[in-house]
Chains A and B, each alone.
Chain A
Amino acid sequence: MPQESTRNWSVTYIAVIGVEILSLLALWWLQNHYRV
């Protein structure tokens, strides 16, 4: 069982941040598109 990491995680962390930004943008759109 490898106890040390065998891959580069930087890209994954950037992807996580990217997905969060997309989620927040979708919520921002929902909030403003349907604001009366």
Chain B
Amino acid sequence: MHLLDWAVVAAYIAWLVSDGIKRTKLDRTTESYFLANRSMPWWAVGLSVMATQLSAITLVGTTGQGYSDGLRFVQFYYGLPLAMIILCMTLVPFFYRAKVYTAYEYLERRFDLKTRAFTSFLFLLSRGMSCGAIAAAPAVVLSVILGWSVTLTALLILVPAVIYTMLGGVQAVTWTDVKTMGLTIVVLIIAMVFLVTGLPSGVGVDDALTIAGGTGRLRAFNFDFTLTETYTFWSGMLGGLFLMLSYFGCDQSQVQRYLTAKSVDDGRTSLLMSAYWKIPLQVLVLLVGIFTFLFYLFHQPPLLFNPIHDARIRSSAAAPEYSGLEREFETAFQARRQAAVAIAASRDAGNVREQARATDAFSEHDARVRSVRARAASLVKKTTGDASYNDVNYVFPTWIITALPVGIVGLWIAAIVTAATDSIAAELNSLSTASVIDFYKRLVRPEASDEHYLLVSKMTTGFWGLFAAVVAVYASSLGSLIEVVNRFGSFFYGSILGVFMLAILTRRTTGTGAFVGLFAGMISVAAVAFGRPDISFLWHNVIGAVVVFTVGLTLSLGKQSSDRFRPAA
């Protein structure tokens, strides 16, 4: 990377940290540290909600998904707008009326302490681990592409987040989210401009989209009703709806964003910003991936986008086999390129017959390219032992550093690094809130001064930052553990939603009913996940929520209706 790009990355991160530290002066109470005195403007909160969800994995992994599968992934978000409306009508006003700091605090008011403590504990466990994973995943990719050390890259992502979150609290988190969300949109648009202008002469956007359409990459709807396919219209509409309800309504890392808004109306408006913009934004990210695919139709890419694996294979016993694959790849690539140019030329000439012939030729050569790539990937797995290797994650970062001009590369790397930093900051902030409010203040020292709690909150943020750093640094050796925790997380995500549904939709459910229901939901999801691993994870949330609701309600039959159904205004 050029020195100027380094300077851009360093300057941007320094700006975020110094701006965050400036906000230390504003944090004199725990309410300002955790909730910004409930004074943030709706647009800043809305951008913060979006930025928390958009991590570096979105920028690297989702563009990779666009490159390989096209728009298919957007179906995941089809249930989001409806989820936001449901939350605005139900949980958001409940949280505001109850004046809670954490979503789980509300569960004690409605049910009992054990339900609150257990749901909050589940949140701490899963988010604590995922915080490290959010830093480690992009660090692995960036370290390969930029030649940095994985540990240093992970720390470059984590350390700024820990500093400005620990000192500046939620205000620092929100305002850095605003800046990074703005930067992300700018760099996505810049990438799109470079990708479109990078098409060869004679191939217009219309021609390019025709080629992409021919490969199935513009398919945004799959109406097959199947539980095993992850991304379909139905899994997105129903499974996605439950997942988004759980994520935005019951996960402290998101709930805390909109609890900082000035009023219940501002809280609603900030959530609805995602409802309006999430699908178009996700389409933009996926289109950038699709146009990266189109770019590499006309500009020869490497056989492997991971340069470290490429070098290792070249110096291994598999080198002759790899050279053979490279020659095969070169031939298939040139033939596919000619077919792509022929599609554009025949299309522009209005020659339908020739276009059909060129399209058939394109499909044939594209299949050859994919076959050679698949064989190269198997060679990587055999030679390096990296069984989970996925070349797609390295495609877009490779394009960034090879196709963009100096300065813009720095902006993009800054956007990727700080997208991860942002998400981590929001999580550290919410982990600290849940630790202090749900456990320390509630169970350990209920009667201390606000200064004491503020100090403990800052120390807790630092502790979770340290915890995330350890997880991130040892991520490779903790690989299977992180996977287990993530899997465990997916078991209770829908189940926690079920508890909140019992809280707001029923009057009769008791604390014990909800608590036992939560376990029943988690066990059911675990049974489905292990018994039928082919069922897509999006359906786990539906199963969990429905089982908790049914069991919780059944166990509470015949009980008196609760006078704690609605929090006092």
Contacts and interface: CB of A to CB of B under 8 A. Distances in A.
A2 B84 contact: no
Contacts of A36: 210, 213-214, 359
Contact of A13 (B88, B209, B212, B220): B88
Contacts of B263: 1-3, 6
B88 A28 contact: no
Nearest to B208: A34
A31 B569 contact: no
A23 B85 contact: no
Contacts of B71: 27, 30-31
B443 to A, nearest CB: 28
B221 A30 contact: no
B210 A30 contact: no
A3 B569 contact: yes
B314 to A, nearest CB: 38
A2 B221 contact: no
Interface in B197-237: 209-210, 212-214, 218-221
Interface residues of B, number: 36
Contacts of A24: 78, 279
B276 A19 contact: yes
Determine chain B's interface SS by DSSP, over half rule: helix
Contact of B220 (A5, A6, A9, A30): A30
B279 A20 contact: yes
Contacts, number: 83
B328 interface: no
B283 A5 contact: no
Given A17-B85, A35-B213, A1 B262 contact: yes
Given A19-B276, A27-B74, A34 B85 contact: no
Nearest to B272: A16
Contact of B272 (A5, A12, A31, A33): A12
Interface residues on A, range: 20 to 34
A34 B265 contact: no
A5 B221 contact: no
B260 to A, nearest CB: 12
A28 B209 CA distance: 14
B127 interface: no
Contact of B81 (A3, A16, A27): A16
A6 to B, nearest CB: 6
Contacts of B179: none
Contacts of B134: none
B280 interface: yes
* 8 closest A-B pairs by CB: A34-B213, A27-B220, A36-B214, A20-B81, A23-B279, A16-B275, A2-B263, A34-B209
Given A9-B268, A23-B279, A23-B280, 13 more contacts: A3-B97, A5-B265, A5-B268, A12-B268, A16-B275, A16-B276, A20-B78, A20-B82, A27-B71, A27-B283, A30-B220, A35-B213, A36-B359
Interface of A: 1-7, 9, 12-13, 16-17, 19-20, 23-24, 27-28, 30-31, 33-36
Interface of B: 38, 71, 74, 78, 81-82, 84-85, 88-89, 93, 96-97, 99, 209-210, 212-214, 218-221, 262-265, 268, 272, 275-276, 279-280, 283, 359, 569
25 contacts: A2-B265, A3-B569, A4-B97, A5-B265, A6-B263, A9-B88, A9-B89, A9-B268, A12-B272, A13-B88, A16-B84, A19-B81, A19-B276, A20-B82, A20-B275, A20-B279, A24-B279, A31-B213, A31-B220, A31-B221, A33-B213, A34-B209, A34-B212, A35-B218, A36-B359
